[in-house]
Structure 1
Amino acid sequence: MKKGFLDRVEDNAAVRTWVEMTQREKDKHLFRALAQFWNQAYSCFTFGKVDLMPTIDEYMALLRCSKILVDKVYSKAVNAPTFSKRLINITGMTHPDARKKVDVFALSIYGLVVFPKTLGHVDETVTDLFDRLEKRVTPVPVILAETFRSLNACWRAGEGRFIGCAQLLLAWFHSHFWKVDKVSYRVFSESYSPLKEIVATPRRDDVSEEKWIVIFQNLQEEDIEWRAPWLLPDEILYWCGDFDWVPLIGIWGAIGYAPLLVLKQYRSRQFVPATQGLAECEFWYRGDVDGGALRVVPTELEIIKQDFERRSAELEKIIEQMEEEKVNLRLDVDVQKLEADKLRKGKNKAEEELDSLKANYKKLRLSMRTAGHGKTLEQWCEEIREETNRSDRWERKFQEVQAQNEALEKRLSESQKEKGELKDRVVELEGSLR
C-alpha cells in the first residue's frame, strides 16, 4: 500500500505503528517456509506423506468459542445495512457507553490483525461480520475460510502478503509439534487458554527459512503431535449435502474444507475420502477481487449529514408522489362535477316529464267524466293501462337517477375529505423539511 495515502489519513500514525509491530512479531521465516508446503488442491499442508490442516474444531478451541451452530454460521447478507449504519451501531454514536469503546477496540483487532487486508486500515467488509457477532454468529469458519483462500492466493502467485491471522495459524502449527506425554487437567478448566500457554512458551526465532524448508521436507509421522493437547473430543462438521466436504463462507469469498483428510488430528483411523469438486469450490464475491480501493472512514458529522441528505431525498420523492396524486385527484373531482351536472340535468328533465305526465293524466280523468262516449270501455281501459305503465317507467327512472345522484354526492364528499387530508400531510412534510 502506498505511504502517501496513509500520510493523508488524520491521526493514523499510532495505528500504523501498532499494526506494523503486530505484523513483525510473527516468525516470518517459519511462515514463508510453511506457505510453500500448502496444497491448493486439498486445502491442507502436505509435508511428504504427512497432511495437516487447521480445522474448525481446533480454531474453536484456540479462540475458546462455544460449539458451532449450523444456523449461526456467517453468510454474506444480501440486503445488509449500509456502512454508515453499521459504523453508527458499532461506535455508539446514537447511545454512547463504555461497552461501545470495547466494541471499537475489538473491531480494530478484527480489521487489523485477524483480517489485515489493507495494512493500517479496517476493511469495510469486516464491519458486516462484526456487526452480526451480537447475534451469536461464530467467526471461526470465516477466519478459516480467509486463511485458506489467502494461502491459495500466495501459492498461485509464488509470493504476496498473507491476508489472514498469521499469528493464529502459527499458534496452531506449534501445537502439533509440542510433544507431551499426557493431557493436562487444565484443558478442562474454564479459565484455561491454550493461546496464552502457546504465547508464553519460549521459542527460537533465529531459524532461517531454508532451515525450516529442510525440516519440513524430512518430516515423519512420528514427529507430529497429531492431536493438539488442548483439543477435547467432539462432533466433526465434515459433510454438506452429497459432498464429503463443507463450503466455508468468508467475508471476501468462499472455499472448500475437507476435515476427513486429517482424521488423525482427531485420533481417528485415516482413510482417503472422496473430494470431488473440492478444488473448484473457491470463488470471490463480485467486487472483492481488487482490494486496492480505499476510502477514509467518515466523521460523525459526515455520517449524520449523509443520513439527513438521504432522508431528505426520500421525503422529496414522497412529496412529488403526493403532488402527482393531488393533481390526479383534482382531475377526478372535475370529472365527477361534470357527471354530477349531467345527472342533475337529467333529473330535472325527468321531473318535468313526470309533472307533464301527471297533468295529462288528470286531464284524461276529467275528460272521461265529462264525455263518456266516443270510445268503448275496453278502449278506455287499454289507454289507462298504457298511461299507468308509462307513469311507472318514469317513476322507476326517476328513482334510479335519484340513487345515482346520492351516490355521486357521497363520492364528492369522500373526495373532498381525502383532499383535505392530503393537504394536511403535504403541510406536515414541508414543515419537517424546514
Structure 2
Amino acid sequence: MENGFFDKVEDNAAVQIWAETTQQEKGDSLTDGCFTFEKVDLVPTIEEYTALIRCPKIQVDRIYSKAANGPAFSERLMNITGMSKQWVTARIKQKGGCRCIPWRNLRDFILAHPDIKKKVDVFALSIYGLVIFPKALGHIDEAVSDLFDRRSKWTIPVHAILAETFRSLNACRRAGEGRFIRCAQLLLSWFHSHFWKVEKVSYRVFSENYSPLKELVATPRRDDITEENWMTILQNLQEENIEWRAPWMV
C-alpha cells in the first residue's frame, strides 16, 4: 500500500509465472522459517482470505493494484464525502510518514451529515483505514482511500490484504518484536482455523451460511490464558495439533 509499491502494473500471466517460479525456488517466506512448521509453509493463502471475507470468485482483470497516475488524495476524499475542497484540505494531516485524515473528523461527518449513503460510505472508509489497513493510529491514510475509492469497480482487495499481512509479519519477525498493524481479525480467524485443536474448537464444515468471522466475533475471548501460556502452547505444537486445511474451505 506504500507509494511506489504498485506503481507498475504488469501482465497478469507474467506475474503468475514469476510467482510460481519464485515459490518453487525460494518458497513463500521472505525470511527462512518465518511462517513454517517443520517443513510445511503456513502462510495464509489467497483462497483462505477470499473465503474469509466472502469475496466473489477472483477475476484476474479485477485484482486491485495501485494505479501509476490517479486522483489526488484530496480529490478522492471529495468524491467519497461530497464535501468541498476547502473542507477536505483543512483536515488532511501528515502522520507516520504519509498523508492522512483523522478518524475524529470522519466521525463528526458521520454524525452530522444528512445523506445516509454518504454516512455509510465514510463509515466503510473508516473501517478500511482503522481495521483492515491500520497504519497511523486513529487516522485513515492516503493509500487506503485509493483502494476504497475503486471499490465500485469491483476490484478484488484480497491480494493487497494478503501482501500487507505478509509484510507486517515479516517486519515483526526480522525485528524480533513489534505489533502486527494489519487486519488482525482476519489473521486471528486464520490462526484459529489452523490451530483449532489447541483450543478444542469444534470442527466446522463449510456451508453457504457459515462465516468464520461471525463465529470468531461470537466466541468469548480467552482472557484467562496469559501471553506466556500462549507462547508455551505454540512452542510445543505437534503435527497432530494442526489442521493443515481450513475446515471451512470448500
Distance 2:153 2:54 in 1: 17
Gap change, CA 1:213 and 1:144, over 3 Å in 2: same
Q: 1:51 aligns with which of 41, 51, 54?
A: 41
Total equivalences in the alignment = 191
The amino acid that maps onto 2:41 is D
8 Å contact kept, 2:46–2:158: yes
Give 1:83 deviation, angstroms: 1.1
1:139-154 paired onto structure 2 within 5 Å: 139-154=157-172
Whether the aligned pair in 2 keeps the contact of 1:60 and 1:140 (CA below 8 Å) is yes
Structure 2 residue ranges without an equivalent (≥5): 1-27, 85-113
Q: Deviations over 1:207-243 (max 9, x none)?
A: 23332222222212111122112111xxxxxxxxxxx
* TM-score of the pair, normalised by structure 2: 0.69
Larger radius of gyration: 1
Q: How does 1:140-179 map to 2 (within 5 A)?
A: 140-179=158-197
Change (3 A) 1:213 1:46: farther
Task: Indicate the percent of aligned positions where both proteins have the same amino acid.
Answer: 71
Whose RCO is larger (CA < 8 A, sep 6+)? 2
> Per the alignment, in what secondary structure is the counterpart of residue 35 of structure 2?
strand
Compared CA separation, residues 150 and 142, structure 1 to 2 (3 A):
same
Deviation at 1:101, TM superposition (A): 1.3
Distance in 2 between residues matched to 1:47 and 1:217, nearest whole Å: 10
Once the two structures are superposed, the pairs formed by residues 75-224 of structure 1 within 5 Å of their partners are: 75-93=65-83, 97-179=115-197, 184=205, 187-189=206-208, 191-224=209-242
Q: Structure 1 CA distance, aligned partners of 2:116 and 2:33?
A: 41
Name the CA distance, whole Å, in 2 between partners of 1:117 and 1:77.
Answer: 20
Quote the Cα distance in structure 2 between the aligned partners of 1:135 and 1:97. Answer: 22
- What is the alpha-carbon distance in structure 2 between the residues aligned to residue 51 and residue 210 of structure 1? 25
Matched residue type, 1:197: E
CA contact (8 A) 1:50 1:221 kept: no
C-alpha spacing 1:51/1:170, structure 2 compared with 1 (3 Å):
same
Give the conservation status (yes or no) of the 8 Å contact 1:176–1:226.
yes
Aligned counterpart in structure 2 of residue 66 of structure 1, from 34, 56, 64: 56
Provide the rounded CA distance (Å) in 2 between the counterparts of 1:50 and 1:203: 29
How far does residue 51 in structure 1 lie from its aligned partner after superposition? 3.3
Shift, 1:171, TM fit: 1.2
- Matched residue SS, 1:122: strand
- Cα root mean square deviation, aligned: 2.4
Paired residues of 1:50 and 1:219 also in contact (CA < 8 A): no
Q: Which residue type is aligned with residue 105 of structure 1? A: F
TM-score by length of 1: 0.41
Please, which runs of 5 or more residues in structure 1 have no aligned partner?
1-37, 233-434
Say which structure is richer in helix.
1
Q: Distance in 1 between matches of 2:50 and 2:33?
A: 18
